[in-house]
A = this chain, B = another copy of it.
Amino acid sequence: MAQGNGTAARILAVAARKFYERGYHGTNMRDIAAEVGVRAPSMYKHFDAKQDLLFAIAHGVMVDLLARGQEAVAGVEDPADRLRGLIHQHVAFHCERRFEAKVADDQLHALDDARQAEVIAVRDDYERLFRDAVEDGAGRGWVVPDAAVITFAITTMASSVTVWYREDGRLAPSEIAAAYADFALRGVRA
């Protein structure tokens, strides 16, 4: 989420959690406002429409995710190292920002076509980081029956931490990330 404790940032933080819990259409502006500590009309001083909240959340988290993914692979040659770094970063990120991340995964259908396409374009760039690593690996003898299928399997599996991760849970994000990375890498390497 955008930094800061300003009202706009708090609105986005609350909206992300509500959209995560009940979906975009299952959440109303009055509920968000109440939890922010404000009345619904006041939110329109910060955002023009409810859909802008969803777009800000989904687009913002995808842009951050892409940037972190690009950092993770920068200068790394070996595809196994690249894939491991990507998975590790992906899982840790999805633990720490699980509300926004899951909203960006599941609630895009509520955006109009143009904005949905804008978010998806960023997501496609991000997924390409994974697919490139998998395809490079396939060229070096990994077991990859279908690069798209395997790539999607890995990212989906790694995203699933958004469902169950808890800050006060038994496992730290980096432990979970390591477990997933190990699992996936064993899965593709002969």
A107 to B73, CA, bound (A): 35
1/0 per position for A37-49, CB-CB distance to B under 8 A? 0000000000000
Per DSSP, are chain A's interface residues mostly helix, strand or loop, or mixed? helix
Residues of chain A having any CB pair with chain B under 8 Å: 21-26, 106-107, 109-110, 143, 145-146, 149-150, 152-154, 156-157, 160, 163-164, 171, 176, 179-180, 182-184, 186-189
List the number of copies, as a whole number: 2
Subset of 6 A-B contacts with CB under 8 Å: A22-B25, A23-B109, A146-B179, A156-B160, A157-B160, A186-B186
Contacts of A109 in B (CB 8 A): 21-23, 26
